[in-house]
Amino acid sequence: MTVLLRQFSSFAGVGLVATAIHYAVLIGLVEMAGVSAVAAALAGFAIGGVISYCLNRRHVFRSQRRHEEAAWRFALVASVGFGLTYLFMSLFVDIGGLPYLPAQAATTGVVMLWSFVAHRMWTFA
DSSP 14-50: HHHHHHHHHHHHHHIIIIIH---HHHHHHHHHHHHHH
Record the pTM: 0.74
pLDDT in tens, 49-93: 899 899 999 889 988 889 899 999 999 998 999 899 999 999 999
User: Hey, where are the domains in the chain?
Assistant: 2-123
Q: Is the pLDDT of residue 1 over 80?
A: no
- Do residues 51 and 21 lie in contact, with contact meaning Cβ atoms separated by under 8 Å? yes
The set of residues, in sequence order, having a beta carbon less than 8 Å from that of 84 and lying 6+ positions away, is 107, 110, 111, 114
pLDDT in tens, 97-113: 999 999 989 998 999 89
> What pLDDT was estimated at residue 82?
87
- What's the whole-number average pLDDT of the chain? 92
